[in-house]
Amino acid sequence: MPWRVRWEFYTIILGVAVLVLSIIVAVVGRDLAVHLLAVAGIAGGISIILNAMPHDGGNGSGGRWRDYSNDRR
């Protein structure tokens, strides 16, 4: 399995884990602060999952991978 696919798979699994844990905390929590943190966790889990999804580079040409290798210096 290529490292990019593996990385996306792991990131999606991480996002789902954050989402599930935040939903459990939202259900079990009793204070307002705990509920607010759970809502922030739910938003974070959704953003992790959405960020891990492949995208087409913005021009509709197909699924291009994000390549930041030239940015590392």
pTM: 0.71
- 11-15, 28-32, 59-63: segment of lowest average pLDDT: 59-63
Average pLDDT on 9-34 reads 95
Closest of 23, 17, 11 to residue 50, by C-alpha: 11
What does the CA dihedral 25, 7, 71, 60 come to, rounded to 10 degrees?
-90
Q: Could you state, in order of their start, the residue ranges of all structural domains in the chain? A: 3-53
- Position with higher pLDDT, 14 vs 69: 14
Closest of 39, 37, 47 to residue 15, by C-alpha: 47
3-state DSSP percent of the chain in helix, strand and coil, to 5: 70, 0, 30
DSSP state of 61: S
Closest of 37, 9, 8 to residue 23, by C-alpha: 37
